[in-house]
Amino acid sequence: MTTMTIAKALTAGLRRVLAENPKSLLMGEDIGRLGGVYRITEGLIDEFGTDRVVDSPLAESGIVGTSIGLALRGYTPIAEIQFDGFVFPAFNQITTQLAKMHARSEGRLTVPVVIRIPYGGGIGSIEHHSESPEALFAHTAGLRIITPSTANDAYWMIQQAAACPDPVIVFEPKRRYWLKGEVDTENPAPDPFTAQVVREGTDATIVAYGPLVPVALAAAEAAVEDGRSIEVVDLRSISPIDFDTVTASVLKTGRLIVTHEAPTFGGIGGEIAARVSERAFLSLEAPVIRVGGFHMPYPVAKVEEQYLPDIDKLLEALDRSFAY
């Protein structure tokens, strides 16, 4: 066990991928000498050289498109998109090419490309630097999407993504990069495509992922004062979603709050609400409540606190659920 920030856990995970898989390489803007704008790849160019840690031209479609080509040649490229809001120039390559290559080749070709995307708000930044576009990708078959919320998951999930034969997008909760946690570098984290119950409870379930897992845990702790025992599920995987774990929790608690920073409308929360209503309808004591972003472009930094789900919004949602 060793204590690391999520950022350093990602660096350590990437270092291990590069060391263990000689066909792996990192590619992205400013990831070499600079170590990435968040320094996730810091130092790796010195250890592994410019063929393994590639400072690419400034072109997201090119980064993902050439990563696909490298994968077709037998490599495992791990591409970095600098910020969530800048992934869209690569949207075509990701959705029409990367996601479909295995299917359209009738299973003959695999394209094990990993795309790392720092995502989410709460960092007081300017436009396009605080978005949560995960639902746009979750809607596309052929992609896998995971998001760690702890240092241990960050360390292992980036390695598990690199070992997966399918394309994997790793959404990294950028405002939690400096959150510290224990990392067990010996024993792998659970299957990255499963959810984990991170706090047990009996009265209601909060499902969260990425940057909001600590918020959900804090809300659960605050709810103790109200005499409520809240279970918290860290979704970890956005595609596929581990509906078994979510459903099992709701069958136990009877109430469900789903939260994410992304806009509520058309979001992951709606999919979870629908599935849970199909699987646990008669066990639900109240409608599933979603706590997410508003249907607006991500707001300016001075008001983002009012936009983002927080402890109070989750407690208010719990009040509504229990009052039903």
Partner 1 sequence: MDRVDGSSARAQDGRSDAGEGVGVDIDADLVQLLAPDGTLGADPVYSAYVGDVDAAMLRGFYRDMALTRRFDAEATALQRQGQLALWVPLRGQEAAQIGSGRATRPNDYIFPTYREHGVALTRDVDFPQMLRIFRGISNGGWDPRENNFHMYTMVLAAQLPHATGYAMGVTRDQAGWDRARLEEDGTAVVAYFGDGSSSEGDAHESMVFAASFNAPVVFFCQNNQWAISVPFSVQSKVPLARRAAGYGIPGVRVDGNDVLAVLAVTRWALERARRGEGPVLIEAQTYRMSAHTTADDPTKYRLSTDEEPWAAKDPLTRLERHLRASGQADDAFFEETAAAGDEMAARVRREALAFPAPSLEDAFGNVYAQAHPLIQEELAWHREYESGFADAGEDAR
Which positions are catalytic?
129
Taking the complex as a whole, how short is the minimal distance between the CB of residue 64 and partner 1, in angstroms? 8
For the chain, where are the E strands, in sequence order?
2-5, 24-28, 53-55, 76-80, 114-119, 144-146, 168-173, 180-183, 196-199, 204-208, 230-234, 237-239, 256-263, 289-293
Picking from 214, 293, 220, the residue whose alpha carbon sits closest to that of residue 253 is: 220
CB atoms within 10 A of CB 185: 15
CB atoms within 10 A of CB 186: 6
38 class by beta-carbon count within 10 Å (0-12 exposed, 13-18 middle, 19+ buried) = buried
Is there a contact between 126 and 304 (Cβ–Cβ < 8 Å)?
no
Q: Interface with partner 1 by CB under 8 A: which residues?
A: 25, 51, 54, 56-57, 59, 61-62, 64-75, 77, 89, 92-93, 96-97, 100, 102-110, 141-142, 144, 164-166, 193, 240-244
Please tell me the distance from the alpha carbon of residue 240 to that of residue 324, in angstroms, as a whole number: 31
Please tell me the distance from the alpha carbon of residue 241 to that of residue 85, in angstroms, as a whole number: 23
Half-sphere exposure of 36 (CA within 13 A, CB side): 27
Please tell me the distance from the alpha carbon of residue 295 to that of residue 138, in angstroms, as a whole number: 18
**Backbone CA torsion sign across 37, 39, 43, 48:** negative
Instruction: For residue 115, give the 3-state DSSP assignment.
Output: strand
Q: Which residue, 109 or 224, is less far from partner 1 as judged by CB?
A: 109
Instruction: Match 């800048």 to its residue by tokens.
Output: 86
Taking the complex as a whole, how short is the minimal distance between the CB of residue 183 and partner 1, in angstroms? 25
Write out the DSSP string of 153-187: HHHHHHHHHHH-SS-EEEEEEGGGTT-EEEE-SSS
Please tell me the distance from the alpha carbon of residue 20 to that of residue 203, in angstroms, as a whole number: 45
Residue 132 structure tokens: 């949560």
Q: Which residue, 5 or 110, is less far from partner 1 as judged by CB?
A: 110
